[in-house]
Structure 1
Amino acid sequence: MPSDQDPTAEQISQVKTSILQKLEKEPPAEPFHPNDLKRITESDLWITKLLQVYDFDVEKCITRLWDNLAWRKSFGVYDINETNLNQEYLNDGSIFVHNKDKDGKPLLILTINMHSKSRNLDDLLRIIVFWIEKVQRETNLDKMTIFMDMTGTGLSNLDLDFTKGIIGMIETKYPYVPNYILVHDLPFLLNAAFKVVKTFLPAEALKILKVTTKKDLDQYVDKENSLKLWGGNDDYVYKFA
């Protein structure tokens, strides 16, 4: 879990200065996106969140931030929009943002019973990035809860590459984003597979991983913010607007 304490001004300055000096001395072959450089030069927020999640390890923060800047440019984070995403995945309700958890953090909902190995992993990860980036812009880099809706999921929906892809992306690219990772209504026959998935998770993720059922989901998401499918009061049906 990220620390609730703020880094010192000196720690923030060390990260900022190191990144900017490295940019001058060793500019990347593909220049970083100007929006990301602005986030470093004009604000302390991004660096603060990274320092918190990396336990104020300045060197680690510098390395990870540089890697993140390179990834964001190569992945084309700022170029992703609703027109160039896989339209089927965008519109089918397999991945979307709706409602909030009890801490007021938006829910990124993954409807796992709609998944199959035949789906394109890169396209799915682009959809996830689209939603995370959208919420990050709207909430000023606030946290989100990753809601894995396992209702009605079977073995045919199981895809370890997809699971590893999501975990890897959040762990390395958005480590400060998860408030909770909720695995809801896990079918008994997938218990063994879930144990395997847990071995991929870093220790910090295991602390915020919660397996929920209709009986206890309201510890994390109240009835008004829970879909009827989950035992809540919300009869929302996803439609991309």
Structure 2
Amino acid sequence: MPIYVPLPVPAHLHEAAPPSALAEKQQILYDRVLEHFSAADYTLRDIDQEKAALTVEEKFWLSYECLLRYLRATNWDTNAAIKRLEDTLKWRRDFGIYDKITAEHVEPEATIGKGFIFGYDTHGRPAAYVSPSKMSVEESPRTAQYIIWMLERSIDLMGPGVETLAILADYADNTGNPSFGLVRTVLDIIQTHYPERLGLALVAHLPWFLNAFFKLIMPFMDSFTRQKLVFNPVINENGVFRTVADTEAWSAGSATSRVFEPEQLIQEGWNGSQQFVYSHAMYWEALVKLCEERRSRMVAMWHRIGGEVGTKEWDVKVAIREDNADTQKDVDEVLMENDQL
């Protein structure tokens, strides 16, 4: 049967481990960054002081994992990490992450199915599908805003222990690309303000005559981003694999060599078992509702367990998962009692 809505966040597709303890030196460096942003009188520099205090949304964003992502991205240089975090805090305000870039604002970009979020890979990463040729249709400044909005929604749908997403770009029957300017703009935003958020980018069915486009943009990718790119991955009845060697390893019993299971993949272009059809009215409403409800629950849980800068995303998401399990248990008990009456 066709499916028109995104899949829910899986409870047990990927059992991630909780954050490991930091080494002594790393803990000292982390504490310096945390202390900086946790100060009672902390304000952002070089902006109107009436608006310089952190908002609730910004404190929620400054999680334990977020601070660590920026520390790792700056090779554990605390001053560089603090500056980069503050630059991102200002960028998020200027770009309009919390007010301007809303579902209503970017929806015109989504009507033809340029991209959508559906399913999760074997590491629990949300899968963001992209149609390159559709991205090149009626390109506008709002196109970049739409891409970043979709990235933010992917982050909303990350389960406990998951900090990255997987991008799937299918060039089957496509001959176009988004413009070089758009790709460079989005690439710069992601590398600057979303460090360690890209887990994998699968580029399937890439024709030889489009190789030149990727050769143009490669110099603008940092080495870590380039390592995430996989061109023409192996797609078969068992799922998606990076290489032929990975398919052989999986056949020999190595579960970690498979990137996607068929049950988490769309059928068209990716040989999955999900007959996904992009119907904008149905999909968009479901995605927006799913993300809004999940983010609302995460913020509420964040408040419940302390509501402070440096709160662990792991703690928030695990608490939500346990709440879901308790709610389902209560529902099951009520249904059982009704059956017995």
What TM-score, normalized to structure 2?
Answer: 0.61
The one-character-per-residue Cα deviations of 1:48-79 (angstroms, maximum 9, x if unpaired) are 22223333222221121011000001111011
Among residues 173, 188, 191, which one is paired with 2:208 in the alignment? 188
Which sections of structure 2, spanning at least 5 residues, go unmatched?
1-19, 242-258, 286-341
Aligned to 1:218: 240
Aligned to 1:123: 142
Q: 1:224: how far off? A: 2.3
Contact 2:43 2:53 in 1 (8 A): no
User: What is the one-letter code of the residue matched to 2:47?
Assistant: P
Q: 1:150: how far off? A: 2.2
- Whether 1:230 and 2:270 are equivalent positions in the alignment is yes
Q: Call closer, same or farther: CA 1:25–1:149 in 2, change over 3 Å.
A: closer
Contact 1:167 1:201 in 2 (8 A): yes
User: What is the one-letter code of the residue matched to 1:74?
Assistant: D
- Whether 1:110 and 2:130 are equivalent positions in the alignment is yes
The one-character-per-residue Cα deviations of 1:101-157 (angstroms, maximum 9, x if unpaired) are 22110012211121226411x312221222222232343672111222222221x43
Q: 1:201: how far off? A: 0.9
- Whether 1:10 and 2:49 are equivalent positions in the alignment is no
Aligned to 1:48: 68
Which sections of structure 1, spanning at least 5 residues, go unmatched?
none
- Whether 1:83 and 2:113 are equivalent positions in the alignment is no
User: What is the one-letter code of the residue matched to 1:130?
Assistant: W
Q: 1:172: how far off? A: 0.7
User: What is the one-letter code of the residue matched to 1:110?
Assistant: V
Deviation larger for 6-15 or 29-38: 29-38
Among residues 189, 200, 222, which one is paired with 1:169 in the alignment? 189
Among residues 65, 68, 73, which one is paired with 2:93 in the alignment? 73
Q: Call closer, same or farther: CA 1:18–1:94 in 2, change over 3 Å.
A: same
Contact 1:143 1:179 in 2 (8 A): yes
User: What is the one-letter code of the residue matched to 1:167?
Assistant: L
What TM-score, normalized to structure 1?
Answer: 0.84
Q: 1:211: how far off? A: 0.9
Distance 1:183 1:31 in 2: 42
Give secondary structure in 1 for the equivalent of 2:284.
coil
Q: 1:20: how far off? A: 5.9
Q: 1:237: how far off? A: 1.3
Contact 1:111 1:149 in 2 (8 A): yes
Contact 2:43 2:54 in 1 (8 A): no
Aligned to 1:207: 227
Distance 1:130 1:25 in 2: 24
Contact 1:32 1:69 in 2 (8 A): no
- Whether 1:26 and 2:48 are equivalent positions in the alignment is no
Q: Identity over aligned residues, as a percent?
A: 21
- Whether 1:149 and 2:188 are equivalent positions in the alignment is no
Distance 2:104 2:74 in 1: 35
The one-character-per-residue Cα deviations of 1:189-222 (angstroms, maximum 9, x if unpaired) are 1012222222221111111111124547711222
Instruction: Tell me: higher relative CO, structure 1 or 2? Use CA pairs within 8 A at least 6 residues apart.
Output: 2
Aligned to 1:59: 79
Contact 1:117 1:159 in 2 (8 A): no
CA RMSD of aligned residues (A): 2.7
Give secondary structure in 2 for the equivalent of 1:10.
helix
